[in-house]
Every structure is written in structure tokens, then in C-alpha cells.
């Protein structure tokens, strides 16, 4: 086989595989909320919603690219991991630890890079980090 035939075969095979992986179903449901924190202010909730709710609540907005594999798999994984760490929509269950949340925010681990690349508005400056920490601390009581 010459190089053109091999390249054509690889392109066609890649397209077939890409088409087939689209058939793998991904659950994009949002379970009902049981309880949300008592926010210190509407601004505190808005900040948390902007930077955290996509992965840490049952109010995930599933963007168009969450319907295209393999991106859909990565997004679903992040949401499952985020909700299991702690979930603002199931605050009554208190999953996670406050000091762990604060530590992640302070060190810049949250929101994660893969999220802020596509959602730059979710990046937190130092003042927003402090406001988020204060909102979490006040709602934890």
C-alpha cells in the first residue's frame, strides 16, 4: 500500500470510531435538590453559582460539547467527582470537609484549570477567593 491509501484508511477508520463512540450513552441528569446552604448574601450565592455549581450541584448546565464524545466522558467524570466531593444541592448531607474546601480554593485548585479554560468568568481573583471562603464558612454553621 502506498502512503496515500494508508492515510485515507486511517482517516476513514478514525471517523468511523469517532462516530461509533457517539453512541455510548452518558447520563446528564440533574437529581432534585434536597437543601442548599443558607447564603450570607445573594452575591455570595451568585459567586458560588458562577464558579462552583457546574460540578458541585444538581444544577449542572450541560453545554453543547457535553454531547460529543470523548469530551462528554471527561465532563461527566468531573461532575460525578465534584458532586461526590460535596454538593451544594445536598447541603443537608454535608459531604466533604470545610477545611478541605477552603484549602482547595486558597491554593487555586478550584475551580480547576480544565473548567476555567472554557469558562474564564469562573476564575477567582484573591478577593473573590476570600469572599467564597467567607460564604462557605458562614453557611457551614
Quote the pLDDT of residue 77: 92
Q: In this structure, what are the phi and psi dihedrals at residue 35, rounded to the nearest 5 degrees?
A: -165, 145
pLDDT of residue 110: 84
Distances (CA, A) of 12 to 3, 6, 9, 17, 76: 14, 10, 5, 9, 28
Is pLDDT at 74 greater than 80 in this prediction? yes
* pLDDT value, residue 95: 61
Confidence class of residue 68 from pLDDT cuts 50, 70 and 90?
Answer: very high
Sequence ranges of the domains in the chain: 28-140
- Cβ count within 10 A of residue 40: 15
**C-alpha count within 13 angstroms, C-beta hemisphere, residue 136:** 27
Confidence of residue 1 (pLDDT cuts 50, 70, 90): low
Quick: pLDDT tens for 91-115: 888 766 778 888 888 888 888 888 8
> Which pTM was predicted?
0.80
Please provide the average confidence, as pLDDT, over all residues in the chain.
87
- Find, among 27, 30, 28, 26, the residue nearest to 87 by Cα: 30
Amino acid at each position: 500500500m502506498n502512503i496515500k491509501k494508508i492515510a485515507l484508511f486511517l482517516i476513514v477508520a478514525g471517523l468511523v470510531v469517532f462516530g461509533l463512540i457517539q453512541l455510548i450513552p452518558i447520563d446528564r441528569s440533574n437529581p432534585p435538590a434536597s437543601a442548599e446552604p443558607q447564603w450570607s448574601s445573594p452575591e455570595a450565592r451568585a459567586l458560588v453559582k458562577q464558579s462552583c455549581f457546574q460540578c458541585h450541584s444538581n444544577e449542572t448546565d450541560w453545554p453543547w460539547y457535553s454531547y460529543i464524545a470523548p469530551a462528554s466522558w471527561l465532563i461527566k467524570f468531573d461532575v460525578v467527582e465534584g458532586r461526590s466531593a460535596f454538593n451544594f444541592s445536598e447541603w443537608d448531607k454535608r459531604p466533604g470537609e470545610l477545611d478541605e474546601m477552603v484549602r482547595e480554593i486558597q491554593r487555586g485548585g478550584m475551580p480547576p484549570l480544565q473548567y476555567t479554560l472554557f469558562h474564564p468568568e469562573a476564575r477567582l481573583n484573591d478577593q473573590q477567593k476570600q469572599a467564597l471562603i467567607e460564604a462557605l464558612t458562614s453557611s457551614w454553621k
